[in-house]
Amino acid sequence: MSEVLRFPKPKARHAGNTLCRRGFHQWEVDQQQVFDVKAGRLVSRLRCGRCGATQVKAL
């Protein structure tokens, strides 16, 4: 019989890093800032759940 090799589990900090680098972010609505002071308009602020990148969309 052959031996079964056990590979180490990947670390959690790199769980979604590859997806985010390729542009597949996991966007979640961030309710902390909904008004853009400089432009004077309502905006939707999105934050990636994996890497923490932010994106702002005007309403």
User: What are 15-31's pLDDT values in tens digits?
Assistant: 556 788 888 899 999 88
**DSSP designation for 12:** G
Would residue 33 count as lying in a domain?
A: yes
Q: b vs e for 1-34, b when ≥16 Cβ sit within 10 Å of the residue's Cβ? A: eeeeeeeeeeeeeeebeeebeeeebeeeeeeeee
The token duo for 29 is 């609505």
Would residue 20 count as lying in a domain?
A: yes
Would residue 8 count as lying in a domain?
A: no
Would residue 22 count as lying in a domain?
A: yes
φ, ψ of residue 19 to 5 degrees: the values are: -65, -45
Q: Would you place residue 57 in the very low, low, confident or very high pLDDT band (cuts 50, 70, 90)?
A: confident
What is the reported pTM?
A: 0.58
- The total of structural domains in the chain comes to 1
Would residue 47 count as lying in a domain?
A: yes
- What residues make up the domain containing 45? 14-58
